[in-house]
Structure 1
Amino acid sequence: MPRRGIAVAVVLVGVFLAGLDAVIVNIALPDLERWSPSSGLTTLSWVLNAYAITLAALLIPSGRWADQAGRKRAFMIGLVLFTVASVACAVAPTVGVLIAARVLEGVGGALMMPTSLGLLLAVFPTERRRTAIALWTSMSGLGAVFAPPVGALCVQFDWRWVFIINIPIGAVAVYFGWKTVPEVREERRSPQDVLGVLVFAATIAVIVAAIVQGPTWGWGGTRVLGLIVLGVLGSAFIARRAFRHPAPVIEPAIVRIPSVALGNLATLVFNVGFGVTMTGTTLFLTEVWDHSVVRAALEFLPGPVMATMFAAPGSMLTARFGVRVTGLIGGVIFAGSGFWWVFMLDDGSDYLTGFLPGMAIGGISVGLVMPAWSMAATMALPADRFATGTAMAWMCRQVGIAIGVAVTAAFVAVHPDAASFRGVFLLMGICGLATGLALFAIKADKPPAAMDAGAQHEAVPARLT
């Protein structure tokens, strides 16, 4: 394989692993509960959310640091950290150690994700940069698609295998990456908002903790109210910091663009529903219907398959009709999936007539909505803010997933019965409707003339070494 081909493969492997590990632990939750029965779902949900919150908090600052220090350096450090963290997860003796190792995995993922696209663009000729972006987008999606069957296969041996599989893949990628991936640096320098990053991560963590612990501690209890107050104070600090720091976590210049703000809102809300779906359906199949993990993964698979099949048509429809129409249709279909499960699923429902239609419909909606919110969150960005704006959209995605997982845990931790899951699926439907309305509210703004995929990145000066 030519040197360029190996470099592309290494970068895409990193993207795939980061996407895979955002989802694969969902399928291992039942085995984790059996491994540590004293922990409970509320504690084990942090195994999922530690990764998502860390990834969300560090995406933007990691991208800025990589631009200055070198994207190859940042990507390879992230890949090494991710692989080492996978080893730590695989040998973790306690839930606390496992959660800490997942934080380290999130750091590695945050270093890989924002740098990977820039590295791909550096090794592709200008006329093929759209292909590079398509590969990057598809590979991150394939990680989520393959997570359920791969996770199900792994847990047949032990839940630790969902992390062990990362180790040889990561090690091979590190070896070839150092030899083939080119270095890319930006000429400009910008300060890092370290305090803002820490406060942002802590704020998301306390909000998630309040949601997860609410049913156990009591929604009106002192501890939950204290967490809510901390979340409000943290949010206020981040908002104030955005106007005072030269390179804040959330840039006001970006969120002032109406279409970008609505696109990020849609991204956040949709991924709350997506997090609810991924966690809620796995737990429903394994705990309410008492299906094995392998059977649950196979029953879940039609959703990712439909999402993959409709991703390309969704992108074409979005390009032809705009984010408003495609986003509204996709959001309504996603809501229909949740409402279908509200009315059709119970203890004695049939898979073919109860669960499968909702999963297939939900998969179609994901294929339609994801291109819509991705384009909405970036299409009106000025050229020098495209990288930061893309990272912000991914940040909203990870925060949404974390909140969705937390809400699911709050609903079903105390009474994991069919009635509790109806509340979970009702929230999924509401998120779908809200996503569709947010995208439909976007005016038919056209991006600047220079904002095609290639021009966006060419507009930012960089040095390839």
Structure 2
Amino acid sequence: MSAPATEVTPAAATRTVALLCTAAFMTMLDLFIVNVAFASIGESYPGASLAGLSWVLNAYIVVYAACLIPAGSLSDRYGRRRGFLVGLGLFTIASAGCALAPGLGFLIAARAAQAVGAAILTPAGLGLILSVLPEARRGGAVRIWATSSSFAGALGPVIGGLLAQTSWRWAFLLNLPVGVIAYVAARRLLPHSAPPSRTRIPDPLGSIAVAVAIGALSLGLVSAGDWGWTSPRMLLTATITVAATALLVHRVRTHPVPVMSPRLFRVPSFTAANVTILLFTSAFSAVFLSVALWLEIAAGYGPLRAGLALVPGPLAVPLFAALTHRWAATVPARFVVSAGLAVFGAGSLLLAARDGTRYATDVLPAWIVIGAGIGIAMPTLIGAATAGLAPAAAATGSAVVNTARQAGYALGVAALVAILGSAVTVPALQHGWLLVSALVLVSAATALGIRAGGSR
């Protein structure tokens, strides 16, 4: 495994965190842009079915979730700097492939390659933050890293709406200059780790098992609406998920170099924080998609207007994260997270209680309250999940955290689609917002199990 990274000066640490946050922002921005530009992509490929087009989104979700933990484990063993550079390079090259895709199949394959790159760079990047910075500064840096995705959530819909009026291909071309500059900067700024000690490669069979288990679970969740929850394909996917999970548990317990150490789940707060992350991101993905659907279908907004209308919620996240930073540093993490999730739940209940006919009075106030709750809860929650990780397991632990997030995104979307059925109506959306409220309340309860590790 990699030895601890060479210590860096405060100025170098600041530049390193800024670089790693930029990379995280880039991968999340792409996801939000593609969601808004989805219809525009369909117009470029006449004859493509809606089911086929959905894999422009689904391929990224499934492959990203499947590769996170094996990629994190490899970064811990062979160097997080190396892993970050490989992931960033692959993501940037795959973005060019997406922009130039001559057909839908090529685009889907390039999106899958993007997901592999993102799955490598994400845990390596967060692992670098945890291993490079002194303990006193890690919590604050993790809060900034976690909040960077909110800027992507705020800008993505607007950029996607603008690009939908020209060409969706610019959504991927934008990654090229950013990716190249970030790669050059990473080679100069990221500290070199000491040569890794001579250890065996992480359990190959365990790596396959975790990829199959998470990939099959994600596939089932994103396909449930098309396949049906009791269809043979869903039952087969569920069987594969259970079998691969059982094999993974066996290999983690018995292999001398497991893909993830069972000691991770003995870290105070790690398990409770990851369960909370799963539930929280389920609620977040469901409410984000539901509000976007309300804007585009119930209110009849075009892509750009809908993108602008989505901005206030995600923009409230970094604002309230900054406003509550000092409070979050002194109050136990479980109380900060639970309080933020309670605010989130109040916002979703407010959405459900209104008649859903006017944006300014029925949606906007609740949307801002939801963003405020997320801003209070999310940075501290991610910080609590990673606070007790040993430097040697930083990337693997970060991968588990991001896998919980990704599984939550897929679960929330699948649950919302199941509630909405074939027609998007205001009453159906209100049922979805009640589901969000329930998920948030349960996550607020599980957050109380976080007993150590704050955002510091």
Question: Which range, TM-score by smaller chain?
Answer: 0.7 to 0.9
Over 3 Å counting, the alpha-carbon distance change for 1:30 and 1:343 in structure 2 is farther
The RMSD of aligned alpha carbons is: 3.1
Instruction: Using the TM superposition, give the Cα deviation of residue 35 of structure 1 relative to its aligned residue in structure 2, in angstroms.
Output: 4.6
Matched, 1:240 2:262: no
Give deviations 1:209-264, integer Å, cap 9, x for gaps.
43444444443332222222222222222222321233444532222446211110
Unaligned runs of 5+ in 1: 454-465
> 1 CA distance for matches of 2:268 and 2:129?
30
> 2 CA distance for matches of 1:350 and 1:321?
38
> 2 CA distance for matches of 1:219 and 1:120?
40
> 2 CA distance for matches of 1:204 and 1:118?
21
Instruction: Using the TM superposition, give the Cα deviation of residue 165 of structure 1 relative to its aligned residue in structure 2, in angstroms.
Output: 0.9
Over 3 Å counting, the alpha-carbon distance change for 1:260 and 1:124 in structure 2 is closer
Instruction: Using the TM superposition, give the Cα deviation of residue 432 of structure 1 relative to its aligned residue in structure 2, in angstroms.
Output: 0.7
Contact 1:68 1:186 in 2 (8 A): no
1:397 is aligned to: 405
Q: How does 1:419-458 map to 2 (within 5 A)?
A: 419-442=427-450, 445-446=451-452
> 1 CA distance for matches of 2:96 and 2:172?
7
Instruction: Using the TM superposition, give the Cα deviation of residue 185 of structure 1 relative to its aligned residue in structure 2, in angstroms.
Output: 4.1
Contact 2:63 2:215 in 1 (8 A): no
Contact 2:225 2:414 in 1 (8 A): no
Q: How does 1:28-67 map to 2 (within 5 A)?
A: 28-35=37-44, 43-67=52-76
Instruction: Using the TM superposition, give the Cα deviation of residue 296 of structure 1 relative to its aligned residue in structure 2, in angstroms.
Output: 0.8
Over 3 Å counting, the alpha-carbon distance change for 1:405 and 1:101 in structure 2 is farther
1:16 is aligned to: 25
Over 3 Å counting, the alpha-carbon distance change for 1:82 and 1:131 in structure 2 is same
**Aligned residue identity for 2:410:** A
Instruction: Using the TM superposition, give the Cα deviation of residue 40 of structure 1 relative to its aligned residue in structure 2, in angstroms.
Output: 5.6
Unaligned runs of 5+ in 2: 1-10
Over 3 Å counting, the alpha-carbon distance change for 1:315 and 1:399 in structure 2 is farther
Q: Which moved more, 1:111-120 or 1:359-368?
A: 111-120
> 1 CA distance for matches of 2:449 and 2:129?
33
Over 3 Å counting, the alpha-carbon distance change for 1:42 and 1:251 in structure 2 is farther
Q: How does 1:242-391 map to 2 (within 5 A)?
A: 242-257=252-267, 259-346=269-356, 349-382=357-390, 384-391=392-399
Contact 2:142 2:383 in 1 (8 A): no
Q: Which moved more, 1:308-317 or 1:59-68?
A: 59-68
**Aligned residue identity for 1:224:** M
Instruction: Using the TM superposition, give the Cα deviation of residue 331 of structure 1 relative to its aligned residue in structure 2, in angstroms.
Output: 1.8
Contact 1:83 1:170 in 2 (8 A): yes
Over 3 Å counting, the alpha-carbon distance change for 1:276 and 1:318 in structure 2 is same
Q: Which moved more, 1:69-78 or 1:363-372?
A: 69-78
Q: Which moved more, 1:382-391 or 1:275-284?
A: 382-391
Aligned residue pairs total 444
2:201 is aligned to: 191
Contact 2:131 2:394 in 1 (8 A): no
1:207 is aligned to: 217
**Aligned residue identity for 1:202:** V
Which of 209, 225, 229 is equivalent to 2:235?
225
TM-score relative to the length of structure 1:
0.84
Over 3 Å counting, the alpha-carbon distance change for 1:254 and 1:76 in structure 2 is closer
1:456 is aligned to: none
> 2 CA distance for matches of 1:409 and 1:282?
13
2:5 is aligned to: none
Contact 2:264 2:389 in 1 (8 A): yes
Report the secondary structure of 1:416's partner residue: coil
Give deviations 1:105-153, integer Å, cap 9, x for gaps.
1111122222324556788789866665555444344333322222222
1:460 is aligned to: none
**Aligned residue identity for 2:62:** I
Contact 1:212 1:407 in 2 (8 A): no
Contact 1:57 1:197 in 2 (8 A): no
> 1 CA distance for matches of 2:102 and 2:388?
48
2:6 is aligned to: none
Instruction: Using the TM superposition, give the Cα deviation of residue 370 of structure 1 relative to its aligned residue in structure 2, in angstroms.
Output: 0.5
Matched, 1:167 2:176: yes
Q: Which moved more, 1:394-403 or 1:267-276?
A: 394-403
Instruction: Using the TM superposition, give the Cα deviation of residue 310 of structure 1 relative to its aligned residue in structure 2, in angstroms.
Output: 0.8
Over 3 Å counting, the alpha-carbon distance change for 1:231 and 1:116 in structure 2 is closer
Instruction: Using the TM superposition, give the Cα deviation of residue 307 of structure 1 relative to its aligned residue in structure 2, in angstroms.
Output: 0.8
Instruction: Using the TM superposition, give the Cα deviation of residue 70 of structure 1 relative to its aligned residue in structure 2, in angstroms.
Output: 3.5
Report the secondary structure of 2:396's partner residue: helix
Q: Which moved more, 1:134-143 or 1:80-89?
A: 134-143
> 2 CA distance for matches of 1:132 and 1:205?
30
Report the secondary structure of 1:291's partner residue: coil
Give deviations 1:309-346, integer Å, cap 9, x for gaps.
11123443333221222222222222222232233254
Report the secondary structure of 2:254's partner residue: coil
Report the secondary structure of 2:332's partner residue: helix
2:8 is aligned to: none
Q: Which moved more, 1:390-399 or 1:27-36?
A: 27-36
1:104 is aligned to: 113
